[in-house]
Amino acid sequence: MALNRRVIVGFLGACLVGASLTACANAPDAATISGSAAPGVTKTEVDVGALVTQSGPFAADFGAIVPGVKAYFSWVNSRGGVWGRKVVLAHNADDGGIPSNNATQARTLVQQDHVFAIVGAATAFFTASKYLAQTGTPTFGYAVQDDWSGPNNLFAAYGSAIDFSTVGPFFAFAAQRAKATSVGLMAYNVPQSSRSCQEANTALQRVGVKVGYADLSVPFGGDMSSDILRMKEAHVDYVIDCLDVNGNIQVARTLHQNGMTNVAQFWLDGYDTSTLSLYGPLMTNTYFLVQHVPFEAAAQFPGAFPGLERYLEEMKRYAPSQATSEVAMDGWLNAALFVEGLRIAGPHPTQAAVVKAINQITSFTGDGLTVPINWQVAHTKVTPPSCTAFSKTVTGPTGSQIFKVAYNKGKQVWVCFPVKGPINTTKPVPPPAGSP
């Protein structure tokens, strides 16, 4: 699916609590082209770097990408590496969540550290995107805004183009399946948040599901009591939160405080066992969009998803606390795509050869973790059909909340709709060939 399910997380750090919105845009940057076509490559290693917000108040949203990258490299290196070379995350740059630092740290990685690629770029402000595009540095990361779209050397997990219009049918599908009679919509007054709920509003009205209440200008960190009371008056029984995890928890808590404990919720952020362990009582009957095979599918369908089982095994060995982090999954997928390009490029890789190799891949699944991504088109548009998996919270054997795959048909976990043309949300289309 083209809309990253966490697209609204990254901007919250600075756009809503200090920095101006203009700081969210790419800063102009002059490129310095490396004198070598294969920097960082020796007879025994390929050295890469990461560009991540690992300190400051927003580190929790992005830092887990590094363990995901390292876990995949560790697994590859234990099997001989790539063309006899180990792949090493040798330089780990921290931008501290400051826009100007992102561009500065990228220059350091390229000009001083001479990395072959940046594998694991996760930050609210990817101000380095233009610079990295101009240098031709193969760059792999987690897109929270549309600054990955276009350049053929920038590879975001699940595709580099963000298309808000593709998410609407999934909101409508889930609300219909839940038999919602009155839906509440909550979003912050910034495009990355409000546009998601605007698409939900349009899709719900198109299929005849009543929107009982909508507030697309929720103040960050503000009191939500008046919103929830108006939802109660409108008999809302299903709430779509286009918020970050803190906002989602605040909505859930206020719902409970006002006796609305049976209201189903739909979150775009918060699908993580660490979040569930902290806030389980507030997360009953909560649904999530998931762009990869849901983590719990490994236990629900043993042997059906060997790629997921491998991911969980390696993450539990390398960074067990991050095993069910979606950001760590992004890092794993980033590393897998880079390694695939490195293999195709051959024993004497250049940066240009790796970029060319990846852009010829038409069905990348991360070894069975996502629906196929066609990198011949994924820099600028969605690979049709648009697909997602769903997860929901249910009461487990011990009485606490656990995640479970939702809306699946046995081992088939994907729900898909056409990218263009008429869409019948009661009749999803089959996932593309090669889907796990």
Give the HSE-up count for residue 105: Cα atoms under 13 Å, Cβ half-sphere: 25
Query: Average pLDDT of each block of 10 consecutive residues along the chain (436 residues)?
Result: 47 44 42 71 98 89 95 98 98 95 97 98 94 98 91 97 90 97 95 90 96 95 94 98 94 97 95 95 97 98 98 96 95 98 98 98 98 96 92 96 97 95 93 96
CATH class of 12-158+310-358: alpha beta
Task: Please write the tens of the pLDDT for every residue from 14-43.
Answer: 444 444 334 444 444 444 445 588 999 999
CATH for 165-290+387-417, options being 3.40.50.2300, 3.30.70.270, 3.40.50.150, 3.30.360.10: 3.40.50.2300
Of 358, 301, 360, 389, nearest to 117 by C-alpha is 358
Contact 53, 61 (CB under 8 A): yes
**Which tens digit of pLDDT belongs to each residue from 304-333?**
999 999 999 999 999 999 999 999 999 999
* pLDDT tens figures, 59-79: 888 999 999 999 999 999 999
Calpha distance 370→364 (Å, rounded)? 8
Domain ranges of the chain: 12-158+310-358, 165-290+387-417
Q: Three-state SS for 74?
A: helix
Residues 337, 138 contacting (CB under 8 angstroms): no
